[in-house]
Amino acid sequence: MHRESDRQPARLSLKRKRTVSDNADTENNPSAQESGAQQSANQSWILANEVVPETDTCSSGPLSDSIFSSELESDIDCPREHTTPMSVPSSWSHYYFRFREMVCPLTPFSDRLSPLPTLKWANAQEVWEIMCHKDEIFSQERDENLFSKHPGLQPRMRAILLDWLIEVCEVYKMHRETYHLTMDFIDRYLSHKRDIPKQHLQLIGITCLFIAAKVEEIYPPKIAEFAFVTDGACSENEILDMELVILKTLNWNLSPVTVNCWLSMYMQLCCDGRKRARRAECLGQPDPSFIFPQYSGLAFVQTAQLVDLCMLDEGSLKFAYSILAATALYHMFSRELSLFVSGLQWRDIANCVKWMAAFVYVIREEGQTQVTAAVRQGTATSDANTGSGLLKSMPHVVVDDSHNIQTHTVDLQMLDKAKTRESQIASIEESPSAAAAAPGLLTPPPSSRKSISDHKVTLAGSLS
């Protein structure tokens, strides 16, 4: 049995008055000669703090009011109501720690190999791990069965809304990232809500675009312009009210790593200008030019067109953004390249490759002409006429930003053709004998009939 005098005071030993010699270093780094008795007292305080019910006062104990008030007055010369309490209600603690998780997340572990080069401004492995972690978290918020929560909505309505938003972005020359943020906000909002009437869908869409423009654009359009494009369907006050509803529903998580971000990074990793940098990285030299786009603007827009068409379909909700971008590179470039720059395995993208095949067929039939006409007005002309010092040091850099502006190069007719093609492929998989009866589906010719032209890729000539 221990005597009463041997017990360490668990509560009174926790507080001490700050002296003039105290500083942040001594408080954050206590002396290494701390006694074992003091450590046990601190541990007992931790255990006591876990079981003591939280109150709205600063401390709980027989002498808490007198001790804390005297120390507070000698420590900080300010009114008591302006000080931060030692404990907060459990509901506030819950929101506080959720906020801390998003602002300062612990570096997660990912099985994906990092393709990022050595960076001067950050740890490349930590950047990669955080990107993969955010991709997983935000993909879980997008429910692939969200239309089962909204009986009044159909997948076709979502496609019509997104097609209209693409057109609005093109008119106001907003960036691709703005559109993809808008689409992410819409999908996540609908995934969290239930029974949204179709009359509110346009209000949700234009409000999400309003939020995304304020996040991404340097000079976003005024709210009056967002209300104007709805042709009187949504007023400015309705957009402002819906903005608060959407922000609270999304818990203010407005920074996903979108498909556009992944695609831009993948293409930066696979461009020809990176070959010299990789040789320098082998010698331990970081690449300062990695932050400047060095890929072909035309190749980027062609791949982004495939992504835009796929994202109109509700089937895109089944896949994470990084997988969608890697699959687009698979179809436009090669399997080896897409797996190398994404750190993914074939099993990770196999289902997405199969799903995206119908959309690739439509893009290769109709999309190339639209993209070429939209891009040649910007990137090709500026690349040829610009003689800046940046081009001399990095000859492959994209100095024009036109490839980052959202263009309306996909439409609902292309989506309908892709859905038709998808149904034909599904019917052939169910009954292989129907392949001969499907005139739109071409099977590979026998080896004796193959020629060199059969191996040409439609977009190979423009992917420079």
Highest mean pLDDT among 66-80, 96-110, 190-204, 416-430: 190-204
Q: Which CATH superfamily is domain 128-249 in?
A: Cyclin-like (1.10.472.10)
Whether 259-430 and 128-249 are alike in CATH topology: the answer is yes
Instruction: Please compute the mean of the pLDDT values over residues 316-341 and round it to a whole number.
Output: 94
**Of the candidate ranges 88-102, 122-136, 149-163, the one whose mean pLDDT is the lowest:** 88-102
Query: Which CATH code of 1.20.1050.10, 1.10.472.10, 3.30.160.40, 3.40.50.300 fits the domain covering 259-430?
Result: 1.10.472.10
Phi, psi of 220 (to 5 degrees): -70, 155
Q: Is the pLDDT of residue 338 over 90?
A: yes
Distance from C-alpha of 195 to C-alpha of 165, rounded to nearest angstrom = 22
Query: What element of type H or E holds 81?
Result: none
Per the CB < 8 A criterion, the answer to whether 229 and 169 are in contact is: no
What is the predicted pLDDT for the residue at 17? 47
- Cβ atoms within 10 Å of 153's Cβ, excluding its own: 20
Q: Is the pLDDT of residue 283 over 70?
A: no
Three-class secondary structure of residue 175 per DSSP: strand
Distance from C-alpha of 42 to C-alpha of 36, rounded to nearest angstrom = 10
Instruction: Please compute the mean of the pLDDT values over residues 273-301 and round it to a whole number.
Output: 69
Q: Taking all residues of the chain, what is their mean pLDDT, rounded to a whole number? A: 74
Query: Where are the chain's structural domains?
Result: 128-249, 259-430
Q: Is the pLDDT of residue 71 over 90?
A: no
- Cβ atoms within 10 Å of 401's Cβ, excluding its own: 13
Three-class secondary structure of residue 405 per DSSP: strand
Q: What angle do CA 359, 365, 366 make, to 5 degrees?
A: 90
Dihedral sign for Cα atoms in the order 44, 47, 53, 55: positive
Q: Is the pLDDT of residue 104 over 90?
A: no
Distance from C-alpha of 345 to C-alpha of 342, rounded to nearest angstrom = 9
Distance from C-alpha of 135 to C-alpha of 391, rounded to nearest angstrom = 33
> What confidence tens digit (pLDDT) does each residue in 385-413 have?
343 444 444 455 455 778 899 999 999 99
What is the predicted pLDDT for the residue at 258? 96
What is the predicted pLDDT for the residue at 84? 43
Residue 199 DSSP symbol: G
> What confidence tens digit (pLDDT) does each residue in 407-450 have?
999 999 999 999 999 998 888 887 765 555 555 544 445 545 54
Q: Quote the percentage of the chain above a pLDDT of 90.
A: 47
